Amino acid sequence: MRLILLGPPGAGKGTQAKNIVKAFNIPHISTGDIFRKNIAEKTHIGLKAKEYIDKGQLVPDDVTIEICLERLKQEDCMNGFLLDGFPRTVRQADALEEFLKSRGLKLDAAINIIVPADVLKRRLSGRRVCLNCGASFNIETNPPKMEGICDYCSSKLIQRDDDSIETVNERLEVYRRQTEPIVDYYDKKGLLRNIDGYQDIAKVFEDICIALGREPK
């Protein structure tokens, strides 16, 4: 099974990715992980990506395409994969399609997890972190037993600057601008599978399995 996972920050992609790769026995290919690995190993393409990341800039299509397609050539991707964070642009999507076509392969589906914007904002701005032990909570989905106090060490919980509502709004807007063309791209190809992400975790996974033609276990 060759899949792409789409969905805004706060949609629960991380949780569903774990379920999908386990159920279908395929590797989870995360753009962030690929970049970090190549940067740590100081590969040529990793150092090139680092130049942009260090400046707070988006890594250009050429670099992203090269680094992601190299990952897909590895043996663990022979029988399928779950792509997360790639492709982000139509140019990247075209490059992926050409790559697969040259090997006589094709995508099976693009899973798009949909959650209402107001829910996403509550989830993302609801994160609270312990100043002492680093434990993370969420007042929306995983609240501490005592408001503002860590369950593990009883220290104060704070909201990080990058979880403020202003930053959250910007993250969601960036995602919308970047991803809408990709959603449309795969919809026109008949590969898009829209999933209601505003449900119980198990129900979301069940719907994903059904959309992919497999009975959930």
Do residues 82 and 186 touch, judged by C-beta distance below 8 A?
no
Query: Is 13 a catalytic site residue?
Result: yes
pTM: 0.85
3-state secondary structure 90-143: HHHHHHHHHHHHCCCCCCCEEEEEECCHHHHHHHHHCEEEECCCCCEEECCCEC
Spot the catalytic one: 2, 71, 123, 127. 127
Q: Which residue has the tokens 């970049």?
A: 35
Spot the catalytic one: 13, 71, 123, 128. 13
Query: Is 176 a catalytic site residue?
Result: no
- Residue 4: strand pairing partners: 83, 110
Spot the catalytic one: 2, 71, 123, 171. 171
Domains and CATH numbers, the chain: 2-116+166-211 (3.40.50.300)
Do residues 29 and 74 touch, judged by C-beta distance below 8 A?
no
The predicted structure's pLDDT at residue 167: 87
The predicted structure's pLDDT at residue 117: 92
The predicted structure's pLDDT at residue 215: 77
Query: Is 103 a catalytic site residue?
Result: no
Interaxial angle between packed helices 44-54 and 31-40, expressed in degrees from 0 to 180 and rounded to the nearest 10: 110
Q: Dig out the tokens for 67 from the structure.
A: 């680094």
The predicted structure's pLDDT at residue 152: 96
Spot the catalytic one: 2, 71, 88, 193. 88
Spot the catalytic one: 18, 103, 160, 176. 160
Amino acid identity, position 83: L
The predicted structure's pLDDT at residue 217: 64
Query: Is 171 a catalytic site residue?
Result: yes
Query: Is 88 a catalytic site residue?
Result: yes
* pLDDT, tens digit only, all 217 positions of the chain: 999 999 998 898 988 999 999 999 999 999 888 988 999 999 988 898 898 888 877 789 999 999 999 999 999 999 999 999 999 999 999 999 999 999 999 999 999 999 999 999 998 899 899 989 989 898 988 899 999 999 999 999 999 887 888 988 988 988 888 888 999 999 999 999 999 999 998 999 999 999 999 876 6
